[in-house]
Structure 1
Amino acid sequence: MSLTLLDSALFGPMFAHPEVAALYTDAAYLRRLLDVEAALARAQARLGLIPQASADAITARCADLRPDVARLGEGLLRDGVPVVALLAQLRPTLPPAAREHLHYGATSQDIVDTAFVLGARDALAALRRLLGDVGDQLAALARAHAHTLMPGRTHSQQALPVTFGLKAAGWLAPLTRHLERLNELETRLYVVSFGGAAGTLAALGERGLEVAAALADELRLTLPPTPWHTGRDTVLELAAWLTGVCTSLGKLAQDVILLAQSEVGELAEGGGGGGSSTMPQKRNPITSELILAAAGTASGLLAAAARSGVQEHERGTHGWQVEWLTVPQLLGLTGAALGHTARLLGGLQVDAGRMAHNVAASNGLMLAESLSFALSRVMPREEAGRVVKAAALRAAAGEGHLVDLVRADLGARGAGVAWADLTESRTLGVNNELIGRALDHHGRVRGHVRPQEYP
């Protein structure tokens, strides 16, 4: 077992999506650092600050360099950042005339932070696709089960009837909002970091902002109003977004675990669930457990990431390194949680018969609220509440269906009550309208058109 399970060959697939994990290898990280150095040289050549020949040589060598990672590690321990040692390996490979133009006017944090943004952009592209796919799965589930009756539960107790389609729509709605938040986040996150030694770009004189803008253009980023060496709010926003996605997926997984309990039996994970070494009858909800593990870990990482944003003056001390420890893990965990959720939904077994059985087994107790409101049309509301509460105790004791007991108790006094409407399927309020609203919202964000046959 490795120190970080996300990097383990054995455990890694449980806690990091492979597409995201591939972006956070040492080789991929160093490639991004070199890409930023090459882009900086090209930007400066475009502006006439360095010769084009130097930019061409730097770009070519950045593309070809195969860094000595062991030596970089030694330099990293000494300098606290890999850029210094990386430049020391790159510079001797350049023509002598180009060496002085390498890393011209930049500071190490400019390169590291811009490379961080490039990595986050690639990772978020993968997460956006995964999140959209999971949303589409939930939309299909909500549509398919718009009329599948089941108990609604509050404080883990049966409360009022709902449909499983509404529950799926409830899982969907926050994921759609996360897609909207991502659209907003990206406009703030995908910016270049270029401030020089103290954020003033003094080494470039009056042309600092020109270079920053040209560098952003080379990398398909934008230029922020000011350098952000110690303004880490957008990094925190990213960490919070990732944690939010994991938390919403964790809620879904927790519901699945509860509904898959032997005594409930309304859902089951596909593929037979996880097995037990000694109890062959077990169907453990392992996929849901992995999603919850990711969500629980993400919340702890977010706390550390938030604290790392308190940085000193124009360049910080330790907060930067805490970001390195937390944000890549959050990206990996979120990818894993999304991948596991897609697999969970793809094989989810919905037992509509068991849901109907659990509704019927309540002896009408989930109709208590509707019954109280119906009786309040023929008697004072407080009296209606007393009548229903007394009958509910008898229904819970197995003496009969709640509606039948109340109807018998009232006799002629209940003549004005619409007894035929007091069934679980006819007391769903705006259940289906809510499903439709969730599907409409998802469709708008995804650019889809809702099928006319819904629900």
Structure 2
Amino acid sequence: MSDLFWPGDHRAGEVCSDRAFVAAMVAVESAWVGVELTVPEVAALGGDVDPEAGGNPLIALLPLLRAAHPHLELHTGLTSQDVVDTAVVLMMRDAAAVVRRHLARAVAAVDDLVSRHGDVVLDGRTLTQPALPVTVGHRLAGWQRGLSEAGEELSALRWPAQCGGPVGTLRDARLAERLGLDDVPAWHTHRRPVTRIGDTLVAAVDACGHVARDVLEGSRLGELSEGRGGGSSSMPHKHNPVLAVLVRRAALTAPQLGATLHLGAADQVEERADGAWHAEWDTLRLLARRAVVAAAQTADLLEGLRVHPGEAAR
């Protein structure tokens, strides 16, 4: 998958793609009946079966599954939200694992920079103005702490199954057990599991944004430069800090996605939300993909980052 409006989106691969969403929903239905079901072609959704007609993708998927498995009693006892929520949790678990891997790369790159340049002295700056001398190692320690904590918080996330039935009164541990998820009471209109995932992904992007902002400032002053950098369409002499710019872009937009999740959580009503639940899916998809991309770009940025001691001393 690629997106010209979000350079670097290809780094997220199949994370939260349409194909991954369909596969996750099929995995939930498979776990419920205890039989491995056939995953339909994504192209079938939107063709003969229109996701818009039922208001959620599971309603569009079920006729395809039932046609492929006419001998099975599929979905009995569940509601659409059980399947969609649990599928989203499965996708978020996968996305978080990818973000963690990139953050681990970023932390290792910071460690390497400390070993090679940690004793280099440069201006410490407060409110962007020169303050007192510090070492590169001191500044890098702040990056490392933020990236490491973000990875730890992602590792600490819990992944709950959703199994409440039509009005949230069902509780069946088999679904969670078969999918390796936590068995908890239905959370149809209690959306903290969603906002917690969103908050943690935003925090990971925040940590990456801190690195990017410092690199952009250091690049302006000549203390730092990106190993690869990017050119200009009109000024061939330029070596633009492209990765830092793209990571900062993510850091400037991720918090609003998290805020949308909280708005949806506050707008829940009775036993099933009328739009607030629906607003989560694309929001989480964007947030997860952007966190993966930002973490990957941050790791690449740090692995190629150059420190210029002469400029720092000057």
TM-score, shorter chain, exceeding 0.5: yes
Shift in Å at residue 143 of structure 1? 2.9
TM-score (norm 2): 0.94
Q: Distance in 2 between matches of 1:199 and 1:124?
A: 27
- Residue 182 of structure 2, aligned match among 222, 234, 239: 222
* CA deviation after TM superposition for structure 1 residue 94, in Å: 2.6
Unaligned segments of structure 1, at least 5 residues: 1-6, 43-55, 202-208, 358-455
In structure 2, what is the equivalent of residue 163 of structure 1?
135
Which of 325, 332, 350 lines up with 2:307 in the alignment?
350
Q: Are the equivalent residues in 2 in contact too, given 1:145–1:165 (CA < 8 A)?
A: yes
Q: Distance in 2 between matches of 1:183 and 1:8?
A: 28
Where do residues 40-51 of structure 1 align in structure 2 (5 Å cutoff)?
40-42=32-34
| Pairing 1:200–2:169 present | yes
Residues 15 and 288 of structure 2 are in contact (CA less than 8 Å); yes or no, is this contact kept in structure 1?
Answer: no
Q: Which has the higher helix share?
A: 1
RMSD: 1.8
Name the counterpart of 1:91: 66
Matched residues in 2 for 1:73 and 1:256: separation? 49
Q: Offset at 1:169?
A: 1.0
The 1:197/1:354 distance shift into structure 2, 3 A limit, reads same
For residues 346 and 184 of structure 1, the distance between their equivalents in structure 2, rounded to whole angstroms, comes to 26
C-alpha distance in 1 between matches for 2:272 and 2:152: 32
What residue in structure 2 maps to residue 289 of structure 1?
245
Amino acid in the other structure paired with 2:174: A
Structural mapping, 1:411-450, within 5 Å: none
Does the alignment pair 1:298 with 2:298? Answer: no
Identity %: 37
**Structure 1 residues 200, 155: CA separation in 2 closer, same or farther (over 3 Å shift)?**
same
Where does 1:10-159 land on structure 2 (aligned, <5 Å)?
A: 10-12=4-6, 14-16=7-9, 18=11, 20-42=12-34, 56=35, 59=36, 62-63=37-38, 65-66=40-41, 68-71=44-47, 74=50, 76-96=51-71, 98=72, 101-159=73-131
Structure 1 residues 72 and 15, CA, compared in 2 at 3 Å: closer, same or farther? Answer: farther
Q: Which amino acid aligns with 1:154?
A: T
CA distance in 2, matches of 1:284, 1:300: 27
Structure 1 length-normalised TM: 0.66
Residues 1:242 and 2:218 are matched in the alignment: no
The residue type paired with residue 109 of structure 1 is Q
Which amino acid in the other structure matches residue 254 of structure 1? R
Structure 2 Cα separation of the partners of residues 84 and 284 of structure 1: 48
Q: Matched residues in 2 for 1:221 and 1:248: separation?
A: 28
Are 1:270 and 2:245 matched, yes or no?
no
Amino acid at match of 2:169: T
Distance in 2, matches of 1:215 and 1:295, equals 36
Q: Is the 8 A contact 1:37 1:102 kept in 2?
A: yes
Distance 1:10 1:181 in 2: 31
Of structures 1 and 2, the one with the larger relative CO (CA 8 A, separation 6+) is 2
In terms of Rg, which structure is larger?
1
1:9: Cα distance to partner? Answer: 4.5
Any conservation in 2 of the 1:36–1:114 contact (CA below 8 Å)? yes
